[in-house]
């Protein structure tokens, strides 16, 4: 009977989980090539595609480059500022749709679609095929179909997304966050040849993805002492590409952008303004003299709103880039052509560009509405308004949660939880104090996951519970005849030392005085490692004496708490 109840509880949990996932991960409106024909609206007879403005593209992605890292007066990228002020560069604060992690952001940058949170899971997947865009429409695929030669050096996420599209490539691993230097040098070392006269003749699009700045953010935050030097390094690479590509070829386009930003402690993945405000800068000889920055001069005063130059959506890069280089817009694009660049075209071409963008979005709208609707003739202002409204509706529907399924999943979870507590209370009715303390622990621990900030400070719970439970067991053992006071002392010293390894958590991560590692790193080289090793041994020593001090079954629970304590201290 007991096993039947447990099996029933597991089945209820699984059902609740599936219902919740069905509602939390919405189904986006996605087109297949066949459906494009089915839902498309014919172009007017006088429509024609404008001539391409560029035939060579360099895309430089600086991972986690927040807008202020490039545009503010706190930035060390002085050459980039000179390009903005001279008119060669056009700056934007580009909104990165959450989740703000690399894989979904690269999907957005290349396809023009908005990501799902399931993409954040795929961001750390080891299976190279789990996140591939090989069969999806993107400007990478459009380049490949038009026989563009694409070279890529940097984050190997590109190779997972587009495994067969690059003529030449070398990936760098993105998870060695302690590496600030080599990971970027392995990208830059290719530039000597790729920017030479011979090298440039072999590629039409060059993609560079630098990870060092993101790694610095993860290890030390946006105000890390390593950040200025890294910005200067990126600025020097930008200068080199400008002089060796853009100045040599007026038909070349150079794009510098961050895939996302970072918060005040250097992390990303959420929806805060700091995490979603990425830098974007487009550079070309053809921009000079057009006044595309509206007379705004760089650097701009640092501000908490990350309000630098014009604000656009990052996915707007997709229809803008494809139009500038004369390729088809990816069929599932939700972005809008950036209006500033209409200045490169005649009045008739401006209308054709906006019409093309509007009709591409209309295909998605018509599929979502279940039929093709008439499209009246519009001027440029009306087309811009239609594009804006269509984009908002499609973005809203692609991220809209199915609340009935979510509520059903949560409700089933609550029913299963209450039933479990009733079964638990009945099973331990003769040990009420133990049952009650367990219920308090699990309820408190579950509540910890309500908010992301509470998850980041999870270690405080483990410190508290470990200390309280240890004290409870000590008091309980005081009633016995024998008790090892030396063992208890060693246990408490070990717990305190574990807490000292990292007493800051995420919220106070920048306070170096709260970390034992800060003081160890300042010791002389001849004694520092020895003291470090000794403290490490002392930290784990109590795990070996738990059984000797407490015996069973209490030792098992304390041992488990201690493991969680160590995990929290390490992170």
Q: Is the pLDDT of residue 515 over 90?
A: no
Q: pLDDT-based confidence at 127, cuts 50/70/90? A: very low
Domain count within the chain: 2
Q: Of 320, 344, 368, which residue constitutes the final position of a domain?
A: 344
Residue 374 lies in a domain: no
Query: Tokens for 207?
Result: 């993609």
Average of per-residue pLDDT across 383-388: 96
497 is in which domain, residue-wise?
A: 458-570
More confident residue, 413 or 121: 413
CATH code, domain carrying 63:
3.40.720.10
Bond before 333 cis per omega within 30 degrees: no
pLDDT band at 1 (very low <50, low <70, confident <90, very high): low
Report yes or no on 324 lying in a domain. yes
Q: Does the structure show a pLDDT above 80 at 146?
A: yes
How many CA atoms within 13 Å lie on the side-chain side of 441? 15
pLDDT band at 512 (very low <50, low <70, confident <90, very high): very low
State whether 339 and 466 are in the same domain.
no
Range with lowest mean pLDDT among 120-134, 193-207, 228-242, 418-432: 120-134
Q: Flag whether 505 is in a domain.
A: yes
Per-residue pLDDT tens digits for 152-183: 999 999 999 999 999 999 999 877 888 999 99
- Rounded to whole angstroms, the Cα distance separating 96 from 104 reads 10
CA angle, 251 then 255 then 258, to 5°: 175
Secondary structure of the chain: what % helix, strand, coil (to 5)? 55, 10, 35
What tens digit of pLDDT does each residue of 455-487 get? 667 777 777 777 777 777 777 767 665 666 776
| Mean model confidence pLDDT for the chain | 85
Report yes or no on 491 lying in a domain: yes
Q: What 3-state DSSP class applies to 206?
A: strand
For residues 316 and 464, membership in a common domain is answered with no
Angle between helices 459-477 and 485-501 (to 10 degrees): 170
Q: What is the pLDDT, as a whole number, of residue 547? A: 56
| Cα 237 to the center of its chain, rounded Å | 24
Residues 172 and 307 in one domain: yes
Residue 6 domain-assigned (yes or no): no
Per-residue pLDDT at 190: 98
Residues 173 and 313 in one domain: yes
Q: For position 214, what pLDDT does the model report?
A: 96
Looking at the domain assignment, is residue 436 inside a domain?
A: no
Predicted confidence (pLDDT) per residue in 279-293, tens digit: 999 999 999 999 999
State how far the Cα of 109 lies from the Cα of 103, in Å rounded to an integer. Answer: 10
Domain boundary among 344, 379, 411: 344
Q: What does the radius of gyration of the chain's CA atoms come to, in whole angstroms?
A: 29
For residue 408, the model assigns a pLDDT of 93
pLDDT digits (tens, 9 = 90+) for 229-271: 999 999 999 999 999 999 999 999 999 999 999 998 888 988 8
* pLDDT score for 384: 96
Are 339 and 481 part of one and the same domain? no
- Mean pLDDT within 322-350: 96
> Using one digit for the tens of pLDDT, what is the confidence trace for 527-545?
777 787 787 776 666 666 6
Clarify whether residues 106 and 234 are in a common domain: yes
Query: What is the model's pLDDT at position 559?
Result: 54
The pLDDT, as a whole number, for residue 208 is: 99
Which structure tokens are listed for 294? 């509206």
- Alpha helix (H) ranges present in 256-346? 273-276, 317-324
What's the rounded Cα separation, in Å, for the pair 98 and 434?
A: 43
In a domain, 545, yes or no: yes
pLDDT in tens, 193-212: 999 999 999 999 999 999 99
Is the pTM value of this prediction over 0.95? no
491 Cβ neighbours under 8 A, 6+ residues apart: 470, 542, 545, 546, 549
Among residues 344, 365, 397, which one ends one of the domains?
Answer: 344
Residue 549 pLDDT > 50, yes or no?
A: yes
In a domain? residue 482: yes
């Amino acid at each position: 009977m007991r096993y039947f109840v447990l099996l029933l509880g597991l089945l209820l949990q699984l059902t609740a989980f599936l219902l919740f996932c069905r509602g939390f991960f919405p189904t986006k409106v996605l087109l297949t090539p066949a459906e494009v024909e089915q839902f498309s609206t014919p172009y007017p007879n006088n429509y024609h595609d404008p001539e391409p403005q560029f035939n060579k593209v360099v895309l430089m992605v600086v991972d986690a480059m927040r807008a202020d890292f490039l545009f503010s007066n706190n930035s060390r990228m002085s050459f980039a500022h000179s390009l903005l002020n001279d008119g060669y560069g056009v700056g934007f604060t580009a909104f990165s749709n959450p989740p703000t992690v690399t894989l979904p952001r690269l999907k957005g940058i290349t396809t023009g679609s908005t990501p799902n949170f399931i993409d954040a899971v795929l961001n750390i997947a080891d299976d190279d095929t789990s996140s591939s865009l090989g069969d999806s429409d993107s400007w990478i695929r459009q380049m490949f179909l038009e026989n563009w030669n694409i070279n890529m050096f940097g984050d190997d996420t590109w190779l997972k997304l587009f495994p067969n599209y690059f003529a030449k490539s070398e990936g760098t691993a993105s998870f060695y966050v302690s590496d600030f230097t080599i990971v970027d040098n392995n990208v830059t070392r290719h530039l000597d040849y790729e920017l030479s006269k011979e090298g440039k003749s072999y590629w039409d699009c060059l993609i560079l993805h630098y990870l060092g700045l993101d790694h610095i953010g993860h290890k030390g935050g946006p105000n890390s002492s390593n950040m200025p030097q890294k910005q200067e390094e990126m600025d020097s690479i930008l200068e080199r590409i400008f002089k060796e590509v853009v100045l040599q070829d007026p038909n070349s386009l150079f794009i510098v952008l961050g895939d996302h930003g970072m918060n005040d402690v250097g992390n990303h993945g959420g929806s805060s303004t700091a995490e979603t405000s990425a830098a974007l800068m487009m550079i070309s000889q053809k921009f000079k003299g057009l006044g595309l920055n509206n007379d705004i001069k760089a650097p701009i005063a640092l501000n908490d709103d990350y309000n630098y130059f014009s604000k656009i959506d990052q996915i707007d890069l997709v229809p803008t880039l494809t139009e500038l280089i004369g390729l088809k817009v990816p069929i599932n694009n939700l972005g809008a052509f950036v209006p500033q660049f209409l200045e490169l075209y005649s009045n008739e071409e401006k209308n054709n560009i906006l019409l093309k963008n509007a009709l591409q979005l209309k295909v998605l709208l018509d599929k979502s509405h279940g039929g093709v609707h008439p499209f009246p003739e519009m001027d440029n202002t009306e087309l811009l308004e239609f594009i804006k409204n269509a984009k908002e509706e499609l973005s809203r529907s692609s991220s809209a949660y199915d609340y009935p399924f979510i509520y059903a999943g949560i409700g089933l979870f609550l029913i299963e939880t209450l039933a479990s507590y009733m079964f638990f209370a009945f099973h331990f009715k003769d040990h009420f104090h133990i049952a009650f303390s367990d219920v308090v622990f699990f309820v408190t621990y579950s509540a910890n996951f309500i908010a992301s900030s509470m998850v980041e400070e999870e270690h405080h719970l483990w410190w508290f519970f470990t200390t309280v439970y240890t004290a409870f067991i000590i008091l309980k053992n005081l009633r016995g005849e024998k008790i090892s006071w030396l063992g208890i002392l060693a246990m408490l010293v070990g717990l305190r030392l574990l807490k000292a390894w990292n007493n800051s958590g995420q919220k106070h991560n920048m306070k170096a005085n709260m970390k034992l590692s800060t003081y160890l790193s300042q010791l002389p080289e001849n004694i520092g490692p020895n003291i470090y090793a000794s403290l490490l041994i002392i930290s784990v020593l109590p795990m070996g004496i738990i059984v000797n001090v407490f015996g069973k079954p209490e030792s098992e629970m304390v041992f488990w708490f201690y493991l969680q304590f160590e995990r929290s201290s390490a992170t």
